[in-house]
Structure 1
Amino acid sequence: MATAADALIDPERAFLGCLLHLPATLARRVLAGMRADDLAGALAAPALQLVIELVAAGTAPAPVAVYAHAVATGRAAGEKRREWLSGWLIDTYRDAPPPALADHLKTVVLEAAWRRALLVHAHRIEQAIDTTDTAALRELADDGHAGAAELWSRYQAALGDSQSDISSALEVAA
């Protein structure tokens, strides 16, 4: 079972926790430019996908809504899986930092995704460097750069968004 300390050291979980507290309109703004595969966590990425789907349908991503959506779409099959998911969602919601940190956590998550993309690309090049002909190696170098460049653009956009003040929007929503 997750602990409160996990939320403090896991930016993906903290980001999801913030989202679970937001109304749909604010969550939609925070999620702009995000993809589920930006998260590396085994449950975080599928949970973010559920949140994205709910918000796209205009539903606030409250824990009960995420859980119900997972069950309705067959992504929480089996009693043990449903029990584990409900506990994880409750813990993530309870241990979340203030929702005003959602934009900042988005930038942290996107930066980590960009760094992972660079690392994967670097490993591919490293593995191919001694055994691949130069034309194929050049193509490999160019292919990976596009994905990292796209992530870099989304990260930079998020940095600009994080300068905005979500707390004033939360006060209006309350």
Structure 2
Amino acid sequence: MTSALLDPQRQFLGCLMQLPTGAARRVLSGMRPTDLADPMAAFVLHLAIQAIAHDQPPAPAVLFEHAHETAERPRTARLQQVGLWIVETYQTAPTAPEQHAAYLKAAVLKAAWRRAIAEHAQRLLQAVAESPTDEIRELADDTTDADELWTRYQAARDHNTLSARLEVAA
């Protein structure tokens, strides 16, 4: 079994690659490459955002083309790695991508929020050991990144819940 089957980030991207431009644009609303922990997944999300910005669907061939255009030298091995990753992610994506994409988006944003909280806690622990009290207080109060992620996660979760209620009611 491939790890792509169990990775919400890859499952999200696999769904995204199956969507037409308009649906992909809606799903990508509020998403950033930094929301993904895996560097390759973040890079592929960046490619998908580029594709949508050029009014192209985030299909595997389009993403690979954008990777080819933005790759730095030496690039042959890296491009091959990106291409294989994209293909495997696409092949293991759930069917009915529009139904799964909203749920997976919320799952990805929830994980990003949890990472932001963990990183904030780690900075606080380090500051407690090394910084003056005033700096610790400022750092403790600076939850902007985590708060912003929480807002985007809630919006994705609420949209997913509303869509599920509408489907059940229909």
Normalised to the residue count of structure 2, the TM-score between the two structures is 0.89
Q: Kindly tell me: are residues 77 and 60 of structure 1, through their superposed partners in 2, closer, same or farther at Cα, counting changes over 3 Å? A: farther
CA contact (8 A) 1:51 1:61 kept: yes
- Structure 2 residue identity aligned to 1:87: L
The one-character-per-residue Cα deviations of 1:2-33 (angstroms, maximum 9, x if unpaired) are xx531221111111000000001000000100
Percent identical among aligned pairs is: 46
Whether 2:69 is the aligned partner of 1:72: answer yes
In the other structure, the counterpart of 1:8 is 5
In the other structure, the counterpart of 1:86 is 83
Give unpaired runs (5+ residues) of structure 1: 169-174
Whether 2:22 is the aligned partner of 1:25: answer yes
CA contact (8 A) 1:76 1:82 kept: no
- Taking the TM superposition and a 5 Å limit, the aligned residue runs for 1:58-137 are 58-74=55-71, 77-98=74-95, 99=97, 100-137=99-136
Distance apart, 1:135 and its partner CA:
1.1
CA RMSD of aligned residues (A): 1.6
In the other structure, the counterpart of 1:162 is 160
Distance apart, 1:133 and its partner CA:
2.0
Whether 2:147 is the aligned partner of 1:149: answer yes
- Structure 2 residue identity aligned to 1:142: D
In the other structure, the counterpart of 2:45 is 48
Normalised to the residue count of structure 1, the TM-score between the two structures is 0.88
Distance apart, 1:124 and its partner CA:
0.6
Say which structure is richer in helix: 2
Secondary structure of residue in 1 paired with 2:2 = helix
Secondary structure of residue in 2 paired with 1:43 = helix
Distance apart, 1:80 and its partner CA:
1.4
CA contact (8 A) 1:16 1:92 kept: yes
Distance apart, 1:66 and its partner CA:
0.2
Give unpaired runs (5+ residues) of structure 2: none
- d(CA) in 2 for partners of 1:52 and 1:157? 19
Q: Kindly tell me: are residues 75 and 35 of structure 1, through their superposed partners in 2, closer, same or farther at Cα, counting changes over 3 Å? A: farther
Q: Kindly tell me: are residues 48 and 75 of structure 1, through their superposed partners in 2, closer, same or farther at Cα, counting changes over 3 Å? A: farther
- d(CA) in 2 for partners of 1:60 and 1:76? 26
- Runs of 4+ off more than 3 Å: none
- d(CA) in 1 for partners of 2:67 and 2:82? 9
- d(CA) in 2 for partners of 1:102 and 1:129? 40
Distance apart, 1:130 and its partner CA:
3.2
Q: Kindly tell me: are residues 158 and 124 of structure 1, through their superposed partners in 2, closer, same or farther at Cα, counting changes over 3 Å? A: same
- d(CA) in 2 for partners of 1:57 and 1:123? 39
Secondary structure of residue in 1 paired with 2:38 = coil
Q: Kindly tell me: are residues 120 and 51 of structure 1, through their superposed partners in 2, closer, same or farther at Cα, counting changes over 3 Å? A: same
Secondary structure of residue in 1 paired with 2:64 = helix
CA contact (8 A) 2:113 2:146 kept: yes
